[in-house]
Amino acid sequence: MALGSTGGFHNWFRGISAVTVAAVFALVVLGGVVRVTGSGLGCPDWPGCDGGIFPPLETKALIEYSHRVTASFVVGPLILFLFAAAWIRYRREPWIWAPASLAFGLVIAQALLGGATVLTELPGATVMAHLAVGEALVAVLVVLAVVAYRGPLAMGVPNWAVGKIRRFPALAVIAGVAVFLLLLSGSYVTITGSTGACLEWPLCQGEVFPEHRLQIIHMAHRYVAGIVGLFVLYSLHLGFRGRTQPIEIRMLSMVAVAFLVAQIIAGAGAVWSDFSQDLRALHLALATAVWIAVSALIVLTFSRPGTRWSGVSHG
């Protein structure tokens, strides 16, 4: 059976890979809720909660515990399945087994970092590493899901990238790196306690360049967001201008732009609402949505539908 066929198992694999991306997105969003509600130590021990298997009926403990349950009983088993299926059925296909293996390694690292974060009482570097690994995991699973649906990647400029659009593939990759760094800068604002340092938007207490340390950190994130946002918008507009691109490239470029604009509005709204927990959580969720959309866009750009796979091992 060729990997590109419509065999039942392969459709199964495609479906599970897509569900796993959605599950990890939900896990990252839950992690954001843990952060904005200050629930990181709702369960002060690990892997149990408050000395027992189940959490006490207390809001922060329940929020933290729901994050752990999603990671342990939903995301973990899904990634384990993909890893096992890749090596049992698709071990001749590096574009399948390599991201599946990397995802398996990352989810283990994520679990260990999550435990270390709690046991060491939320040190900033560990919290940021936990987020970085989580976002990297999302991107790797996006690669696996898109490849499962579209076929292997080719490291070259696609034939539809002509004229000014020829710059799009390289700019999309740079935009992806920029979005990842922006996510980390936002995490740095949180772990340094700089979130509420500026009570106005777009200025900070009426100043463009404040002098206090926490305000400088907060405004630095806004400036990074502004620079990255403009660059990403420019890059993505090349994805939907003209008519040479495949329809999925044009549509996903517009979706990514919509997510980016919504995320900026949510960030401003969080400041205007005196840092509403709901809007802060929405801001973080939309940031990950932008990351997923841009990651998928990059993979789609370099995918080659119709490329023959080398075959499937039935182990």
pLDDT digits (tens, 9 = 90+) for 20-57: 999 999 998 998 888 888 887 788 887 778 778 888 88
Determine the average pLDDT of the residues in 149-169.
88
Of 45-49, 63-67, 304-308, minimum mean pLDDT range = 304-308
Question: What is the Cα gyration radius of the chain?
Answer: 21
Which pLDDT band holds residue 310 (cuts at 50, 70, 90)? low
Type of residue at 215: Q
Distance CA(39)–CA(50), nearest Å, equals 13
Determine the average pLDDT of the residues in 195-199.
91
**Could you tell me the end-to-end alpha-carbon distance of the chain, in angstroms, rounded to an integer?**
13
Residues 6+ apart with CB under 8 A from 75: 20, 23, 24, 27, 107
Type of residue at 250: R
With b for 16 or more beta-carbon neighbours within 10 A and e for fewer, the 49-66 pattern comes to beeeeebeeeebbbbbbb
Type of residue at 53: I
Helices (H) and strands (E) in the chain, counts: 9, 0
Type of residue at 115: G
User: Are 82 and 100 contacting, i.e. CB atoms less than 8 angstroms apart?
Assistant: yes
Q: What 3-state DSSP class applies to 151?
A: coil
Residues 6+ apart with CB under 8 A from 243: none
Distance CA(122)–CA(226), nearest Å, equals 29
pLDDT tens for each residue of 241-290: 878 899 999 999 999 999 999 999 999 999 999 989 899 999 999 999 99
Six-digit token string for 260: 């980016």
Which pLDDT band holds residue 122 (cuts at 50, 70, 90)? low
What is the model's pLDDT at position 208? Answer: 94
Assign 3-state DSSP to the chain and report helix, strand, coil percentages, each to 5.
70, 0, 25
C-alpha 57: how far from chain center: 30
Determine the average pLDDT of the residues in 228-246.
92
What is the model's pLDDT at position 250? Answer: 94
What is the model's pLDDT at position 191? Answer: 85
Six-digit token string for 262: 């919504």
DSSP conformational letter for 6 = -
Q: Mean pLDDT for the chain?
A: 88
DSSP conformational letter for 100 = H
Which pLDDT band holds residue 128 (cuts at 50, 70, 90)? confident
Distances (CA, A) of 3 to 20, 150, 314: 20, 11, 11
Residues 6+ apart with CB under 8 A from 3: 10, 90, 93, 96, 309, 311, 312
Distance CA(190)–CA(172), nearest Å, equals 27
What is the model's pLDDT at position 7? Answer: 41
Domain boundaries, the chain: 1-152, 153-315
Which pLDDT band holds residue 125 (cuts at 50, 70, 90)? confident
User: Are 103 and 144 contacting, i.e. CB atoms less than 8 angstroms apart?
Assistant: yes
